[in-house]
Structure 1
Amino acid sequence: MTISTRKRALGGLVAVGLFVALAGCASAPPEETDETADAGSEVVEGFLPCVVSGASPGGFQDKSFNQLSYEGLERAADELGVDFLDVRSTSSSDFAPNIQSLIDQNCTLVVTTGFDLGAAAGEAAAANPDIQFVTVDTIVDEDFDGDTDSPNIKPVIFDTAQAAFMAGYASASYSTSKIVGTFGGGNFSTVSIFMDGFAQGVEYWNEQKGDNVTVLGWDREKEDGLFTGSFVAGQEAINAAQGLVDQGADVILPVGGEIYQSAASVIRDSGKDIALLGVDADVFETDPTVGDLLLTSVLKAVDVGVEEAVLKAGVGEFDVTPFIGTLENDGVGIAPFHDFEDKVSPDLQAELDEIRAGIIDGSITVESYLAG
């Protein structure tokens, strides 16, 4: 376990974006204004934000969740002119002790990165009602009643089905084999939401174009699919990717941590023209070693959600209303086509723009557990 401290320069606060209500609410709340985080707001005395990583081998340089959470906190600390602490977890057994170590060091707000920290965050929040918690990718609902378990927790979650829908449509457009595939690290809602949205996008392509592109690795009716049981690159991920390639998939969406690296190695070894999809961050930017393989990436603005939550807490306006990233508030999206710009249909971007608008205005329905 390592803990580091950074000193951040003094600066003004940035304006916050849009919020949407927790799943099940009828409508989104009104647009936030600069008044909620203006440059004249006074930072809370003793405010010390902190972050605990998930158990990814890459820690805060995992090119994904942990890194994005760290960067969001870092930017907020810069704006507020405060120190922050970070602690890296190497296994799930580190979660509770790491959180407690930050509380013991007088952290006033703790960011936990990833759904697998939910249970530890929930227990710590209940035991420390004066500490603010920001939980990334989980609402911390251990009793499954639809409500966050403690009143001092702000969830930062994402309806990535919307963005994955667009990626699925793009993949179906690009595919020449008429077979695309996906696999995940584990059958958790935060993983399967990508896979299901991806499949819905392919279905929409088929409906609109009278085509018959097949999705391997996810069964929408059974809500089950191809999973490796791990979020690290390794033999299980290689086997999963190889199986999709052997069945003819020419676009592959791996969902979970670093398993995309295993898929990339399989694609290179195959010598075939197979495209890769990234998740969470724009993997073309975060991992240039696979950039030439990437059709696009399904984005979660984890850094934006964390930064916004910390900024508001820092000026005494901690708000436990869940931040739900959507296409409408730019909390989710898809990355540019980068090296594939000249390989996709010249009509594709305009079609995706129309789909995005349709999802936002409700004329195109995307199903997900966050859709309400």
Structure 2
Amino acid sequence: MKKFVRSAVVVSVLGLAVSACGDAPDENEESSGGEKFEACMVLDVGGVDDKSFNQSAYQGMEEAAEENPDIEISYLASQGDADYAPNLANSVSKGCDAIISVGGLLSDATATAASENPDAQFAIVDAPSGADNVYGITFKSEQGGFLAGYVAASLSETGKVGTWGGINVGTPVTAYMDGFQQGAEYYGEQKGSPIEVLGWNGKDGAFANSFTDTAAGASTTQALVQQGADVIFPVAGGAGGGAFDVAQDEGGAVKVIWVDFPGCDYYPDDCQYIPTSALKAIPANVKDYLLKSADGDVPTGTYEGTLENDGVGIDDFNDFDSVITDETKSELDDIREQIISGDIAITVNGG
């Protein structure tokens, strides 16, 4: 069986050693002697060590700086949406050669900053380009979500699985939920035993209204578990960590499929509850953008990660490798190829 995109999408998570002001430590004194390239990142809420998209994006910055010591990296953390515009403005004033915004919630602020500073170069994770000086890094997350939904349904003993979102920011969250719903239901159709998906009906569903509040994540998860769901897919950044509290309380009867990044890397103590994770190649694409930009070949337009280009996928099965049957693994390989060919079409309804 193929390992999907684990090896291509992500590498093992590196420890994030950063100073209080957000500058990366000077771990590598050697330099090629070339001109310094200053790369700056504006984080969403949750901090650089949020075990979520901030941490993953900054990992890409670190990897770029490690490969090219002329790249100097730093970040500005956001405590709320009121910080987005000032943090972007500060990055422009600082003279950053590349400014990367993390998350679709920064779309409007990034578009405004790019319009007001046409000579500055921006990139944004989880949003398309809206200007010549903004590079969009997007993902067809519904494709990885479909595979995750199929895995969830194959493991469910109740015939009910659940998904919920952090904040409804549109397709960066709801496309995952669309894919998960359709993948789980597809399993039921193939096996002649319907699967019920709780928390999302293709138009609306359950949201914790936070990407950071683990207590809200736990209560949202618990509500689905009380309705019978025994495999949960939280699309909620750090707030999704609350699902592990429920899995622990349920003695492992509830399983959690993680989102965006390898759950077992970020939550090793909870790996026993994680059958797999739906992945986005965020570190690899942030790294690629910075290395090319520093070399004078600034990417433009919008990148779209897919199963075909290894931009999305699912992780290995870790502790569940012997639980997930060879039949299911083979079916997942076939489904992946059918999604790529278009034989399986996934409808993105949410937003």
Instruction: Name the structure 2 match of 1:137.
Output: 126
Cα 1:333–1:312 shift into 2, 3 Å? same
Residue 6 of structure 1, CA deviation: 4.0
Per the TM alignment, residue 5 of structure 1 is displaced from its structure 2 partner at its CA by 4.1
Equivalent pair of 2:178/2:349 in contact (CA under 8 Å): no
CA root-mean-square deviation = 2.0
2:245 aligned counterpart, secondary structure: helix
Structure 1 segment 161-310 matched on structure 2, within 5 A: 161-188=142-169, 189-220=171-202, 223-271=203-251, 273-310=253-290
> Which amino acid is the alignment partner of residue 141 of structure 2?
T
Residue 92 of structure 1, CA deviation: 1.7
TM-score of the pair, normalised by structure 2: 0.88
**Which letter maps to 1:2?**
C
Note the C-alpha offset of 1:251.
Answer: 0.3
Aligned counterpart, 2:49: 61
The secondary structure found in structure 2 opposite 1:196 is helix
Q: Which amino acid aligns with 1:74?
A: E
Given that residues 9 and 78 in structure 1 are in contact (C-alpha distance below 8 angstroms), is that contact kept between their aligned partners in structure 2?
no
Task: Report the Cα offset of residue 272 of structure 1.
Answer: 5.2
C-alpha displacement of 1:76:
1.4
Equivalent residue letter for 2:225 = V
Q: What is the Cα deviation at residue 120 of structure 1?
A: 1.3
What residue in structure 1 maps to residue 8 of structure 2? none
Q: TM-score, normalised by structure 1?
A: 0.84
For 2:62 and 2:349, how far apart are their aligned partners in 1? 31
1:96 deviates by: 1.4
Q: Which moved more, 1:1-10 or 1:76-85?
A: 1-10
Does residue 151 (structure 1) correspond to residue 122 (structure 2)? The answer is no
Residue aligned with 2:275, SS: strand
Q: Structure 1 CA distance, aligned partners of 2:31 and 2:261?
A: 26
Q: Secondary structure at the match of 1:224?
A: coil
Is 1:84–2:110 an aligned residue pair? no
Separation of aligned partners in 2, 1:5 and 1:361: 42
Deviation for aligned residue 1:328: 0.8
What's the CA shift for 1:177? 0.6
Equivalent in the alignment of 2:5:
none
Query: Superposition pairs for residues 307-326 of structure 1, below 5 Å?
Result: 307-326=287-306
Note closer, same or farther for the CA distance 1:10–1:156 as it changes in structure 2 (3 Å cut).
farther
Which residue number in structure 1 is paired with residue 16 of structure 2? none
Indicate how the Cα distance of structure 1 residues 272 and 307 shifts in structure 2: closer, same or farther if over 3 A, else same.
Answer: closer
Q: Which amino acid aligns with 2:119?
A: D
CA distance in 2, matches of 1:117, 1:10: 35
| Closer/same/farther in 2, CA of residues 49 and 262 from structure 1, 3 Å limit | same
CA distance in 1, matches of 2:286, 2:182: 29
Instruction: Specify the SS of the correspondent of 2:237.
Output: coil
Cα pair 1:159 1:368 within 8 Å, conserved: no
Seen in structure 2, the aligned counterparts of structure 1 residues 366 and 90 have a Cα distance that, compared at 3 Å, is same
CA displacement, residues 169-214 of structure 1 (integer Å, 9 cap, x when unaligned): 1111111110000111122221111111001101211221112110
Cross-structure match for 1:96: 85
1:263 to partner: Cα distance: 1.1
Please give the alpha-carbon distance, in whole angstroms, between the structure 2 residues aligned to 1:368 and 1:319. 27
Secondary structure of 1:347 counterpart:
helix
Secondary structure at the aligned position of 2:332 is classed as helix
**2:14 matched residue in structure 1:** none
AA in 1 matched with 2:22: I
